Structure 1
Amino acid sequence: MKSLKLIIAISLTAIVGFTSCQSEESKEVGTNPNTNSSTSTTASNYERAAKNDGSEDDFLDGNSCTELLFPLTATVNGQQVTLISKLDFSTVLNIMGEFNDDSDAVTFNFPISVKTSSYSEVKINNQAEFDTLKQECEQAESDGKNAISCIDINFPVTMLTYSISLEQTGTVVVQTQEQLHTFMTDLESDELFAVNYPINATLSNGTSVQINSDAEFQNAISECAQYQEEKEEAKETAVEVEAILSGTKFKVESFVTAGVNTANDYADWSIEFTNDLKVVAKNVVNATLNEVEGTYTVSSEMDAFVNINFASNTAVSALGNDWFVATYSNTLITLKSKTDTSVTLVFKKI
């Protein structure tokens, strides 16, 4: 947008697909207190919210600023995998999830192509170039310039453009996230803009919101960022709890149901969580009793969860439940039932 005349607006439409309705005779000429410069907080918020989000494949590339493009081939924990689409992510995740006490290793067969947060497609020829992009992303995160991925703006959105004298010079109807990013990054120092509110957006917690001002947009970002932070903390808790459980034997320190502690019923049993997501109960007093084998998974949402599943009609069946992690340390893990928080189970490391 080097000029705001009608003929340039038409050219802009042809280049980036904007629906531009710039006018030399605007009915809205005059002062608008909601105008923003290209260096304003609002401009930064919209530019970051419009960045290409590359976080979906972070388990592969560890870089939220780049989106892997297909096809590509990688070696995952020693197994070569060719990915044609996102549908192949499940294959990689299954390989990574086979054992939960190993360090997952991913090596790409270069060259590969990625799409950056600014929607540029880049060919990466070697590991050094790959590492450089990752370092640049980490720097952007440190500087607060990475993508804001917790809010999805519902398009179209209309931007009103102004001169530095606050005279409206036109409108631009933005149809996509990429077009919004182009609009924001193309703003010149002598150009101002205002968002034609209200707009609608969807937050990462699933909430749909109507936004009526720049301040409300900032508040929506703060709300969803807090949600994302709590979700990330729960994820980190799940990783730590899984590491404590995996390959370790425990005893039932406490098991309270209906206000009664029944831990003595399990005094003769050890509970071992294996590294391949099996849980094995073994009677350490009576060796003639068969081991009881079940399964477990550790997951997270806003809390960390441990799902334990034993077959019915066994000595340890009652320990099977959907639990959330209340507290934990390297030696003690306290679980509460997701459906009845008065039911608590405490494992102590043997």
Structure 2
Amino acid sequence: MTIRVSILLLFLTGLIFTSCRTEETEFVQAPEDETLAANSSIASLMQRTASNDGSIDNIVDRANCFDLAFPFMIIVNGAQITVTSQEDYAIIECVFEESEDDNDSLEIVFPVTIILADFTEISIANTNELNNYINTCNGENEEDDDIECLDFQYPIIASVFNSNNELLDTINIENDNELYQFIENIGENDIVTIEFPITV
């Protein structure tokens, strides 16, 4: 019986040693030119392209570094207009063109909300507060941070791998605000790849 027990113990010991294995961690690095790194020049250019272009409503606020959030009310040459979309800026131009004198007036009805280049929303209670923000903007024909000569077509799909917690996530980006915030939140331990092609 001792021979059987010895053989059985020897067999079980052999089985234990051969069945145990050590896991080998192999980390495959994505090619540099296919990743979007935090604070890289590509990330900066993409973020500047996605930033909120405040020049679309210059006819109202004369400021290119923020725009007014819809809806808002204005009084143009005595006529009250509720602005609910970018198309309403053409109405303002028509009212200005109808007037034969060059003393056009435009008054913003407060409170309003402004949207900064990073999509932060700030409530503005009066003209003085608005003027303080206007004074921080560059002039009409001066260079600013946002890239206006192209726009991304959405959706854009990105894959994010965090090397700390080894989680892979796929993100569907639907607009400039989401892309701006996505790039803003890329961490040093994140490996981000964009699914190409993207359309601009």
**TM-score under structure 2 length normalisation:** 0.67
Secondary structure in structure 2 of the residue aligned to 1:145: coil
Q: How far apart are the structure 1 equivalents of 2:163 and 2:132?
A: 39
Unaligned runs of 5+ in 2: 1-25
Number of residue-to-residue matches in the alignment: 170
What is aligned with 1:58?
A: 58
Distance change >3 Å, CA 88–CA 199, structure 1 → 2? closer
Q: Which residue of 1 aligns with 2:119?
A: 119
Residues 72 and 84, structure 2, Cα contact 8 Å, conserved in 1: no
Equivalent residue number for residue 45 of structure 2:
45
More helix per residue: 1 or 2? 2
- Change in CA separation of 1:158 and 1:72 when aligned onto 2, cut-off 3 Å: closer
Residue 134 to residue 174, structure 1, CA distance change in 2 (3 Å): farther
Q: Letter of the aligned partner of 1:62 in structure 2? A: R
Match of 2:106 in 1: 106
Match of 2:174 among 176, 179, 187: 176
1:200 aligned counterpart, secondary structure: coil
Flag the structure with larger Rg.
Answer: 2
2:110 partner SS? coil
Map 1:226-245 → 2, pairs under 5 A: none
> Is 1:81–1:92's contact at 8 Å kept on the other side of the alignment?
no
Query: Alpha carbons of 1:51 and 1:59: their partners in 2 closer, same or farther (altered >3 Å)?
Result: same
Indicate how the Cα distance of structure 1 residues 134 and 70 shifts in structure 2: closer, same or farther if over 3 A, else same: same
SS of corresponding position for 1:108? strand
Q: Could you say if the C-alpha distance between residues 31 and 70 of structure 1 is closer, same or farther in structure 2, counting changes exceeding 3 Å?
A: closer
- How far off its partner does 1:143 sit? 7.3
Give the Cα–Cα distance (whole angstroms) in 2 for the partners of residues 43 and 174 of structure 1: 17
State how far apart, in whole Å, the 2-side matches of 1:72 and 1:153 are: 27
Distance 1:31 1:68, change over 3 A: closer
Measured against aligned partners, the alpha-carbon deviations of 1:65-85 in whole angstroms (never above 9, x if no partner) come to 333234433233x42423142
Q: TM-score, normalised by structure 1?
A: 0.41
- Partner of residue 73, structure 2: 73
Closer, same or farther: CA 142–57 of 1 in aligned 2, 3 Å: closer
Aligned-residue offset at 1:164 = 7.9
Identical columns (%): 22
Matches within 5 A, 1:261-272: none
Provide the C-alpha distance between the structure 2 equivalents of 1:190 and 1:161, rounded to a whole number of angstroms: 10
1:292-303 alignment, distance < 5 Å:
none
CA distance in 1, matches of 2:118, 2:98: 35
Cα RMSD for the two superposed structures: 3.3
Is the contact between residue 164 and residue 191 of structure 1 (CA under 8 Å) also seen in structure 2? yes
Q: Which structure shows the higher strand fraction?
A: 1
Aligned-pair distance for 1:99? 5.4
Aligned partner of 1:136 in structure 2 is 136
Aligned-pair CA distance for 1:190 = 4.0
Distance 1:156 1:74, change over 3 A: closer
